[in-house]
């Protein structure tokens, strides 16, 4: 509706990062927006504990994607955000972790801009930082690591070429954080070794970081594949490679 040059009931989309799983790690702003939204469109990896914080009166739409079986594909999610905002609604697009770290938040912001929809970005704590912290693994330390790289272990299969150069990463950073890499663990480890990484390099796999189901598997590059197989490690998980992993036993606070 347009009155006197002013558009009334104009909708808006909030791209909100819900954090890594522990409901107490969502931002104050993110929680406020959830409590005052008209509709929340949420992803599969948003924890159940976060969903339970949303008042019952607010419409909730599941837009999760399972490997090879999306409930809604990305185009449908984009259309849904635009349609709801054009109704004048306050739409929260709720994503796990951080909006702009391997979460397609940048793509969704572009789509909203092109459609003329107002939007705001509310960052969240990524599991890339939170899972290691809850496992007692600092990503940097004066005695162990001065550089960090965060990469995805699952690139878009439709891309003409992969952007992650695993062999180069093997020698270029002290700490390597890999998201969504469990299914390609064997390939990643093989590339690390071919790139010159020592087989004795420490590695940790943190499943369901920051939640009551958190589980940490520690090893070295030469034995982690067997350990992960024996423990039936599964996603969602964060992989940490580097000497910094050696601090896990010393400063891991959660299990104490």
Among all residues, which ones are annotated catalytic? 43, 65, 180
Smallest CA-to-CA distance from 49 within 31, 28, 65 is with 31
Smallest CA-to-CA distance from 185 within 217, 149, 138 is with 217
83 cis-preceded (ω within 30 degrees of 0): no
Beta pairing partners, 239? 178, 205
Distance CA 216, CA 97 (A): 19
The answer to whether 60 and 51 are in contact (CB under 8 A) is: yes
Note the Cα 194 to chain centre separation in Å.
28
List of residues 6+ apart from 10 with CB closer than 8 A: 88, 118
């Amino acid at each position: 509706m347009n009155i006197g040059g002013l558009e009334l009931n104009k909708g808006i989309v909030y791209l909100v990062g819900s954090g890594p799983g522990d409901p107490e790690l969502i931002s104050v702003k993110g929680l406020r927006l959830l409590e005052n939204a008209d509709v929340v469109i949420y992803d599969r990896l948003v924890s159940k504990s976060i969903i339970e914080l949303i008042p019952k009166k607010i419409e909730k739409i599941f837009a999760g994607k399972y490997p090879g079986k999306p409930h809604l594909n990305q185009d449908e999610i984009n259309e849904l955000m635009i349609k709801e905002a054009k109704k004048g609604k306050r739409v929260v697009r709720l994503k796990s972790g951080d909006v702009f770290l391997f979460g397609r938040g940048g793509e969704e912001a572009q789509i909203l801009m092109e459609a003329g929809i107002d939007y705001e970005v509310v960052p969240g704590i990524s599991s890339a930082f939170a899972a290691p912290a809850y496992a007692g693994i600092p990503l940097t330390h004066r005695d162990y690591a001065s550089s960090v790289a965060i990469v995805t272990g699952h690139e878009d299969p439709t891309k003409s070429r992969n952007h992650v150069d695993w062999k180069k990463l093997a020698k270029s950073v002290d700490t390597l954080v890999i998201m969504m890499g469990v299914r390609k663990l064997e390939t990643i480890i093989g590339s690390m070794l071919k790139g010159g990484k020592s087989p004795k390099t420490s590695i940790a796999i943190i499943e369901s970081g920051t939640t009551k189901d958190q589980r940490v598997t520690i090893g070295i590059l030469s034995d982690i594949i067997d350990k992960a197989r024996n423990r039936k490690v599964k996603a969602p998980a964060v992989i940490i490679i580097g000497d910094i992993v050696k601090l896990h036993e010393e400063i891991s606070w959660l299990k104490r």
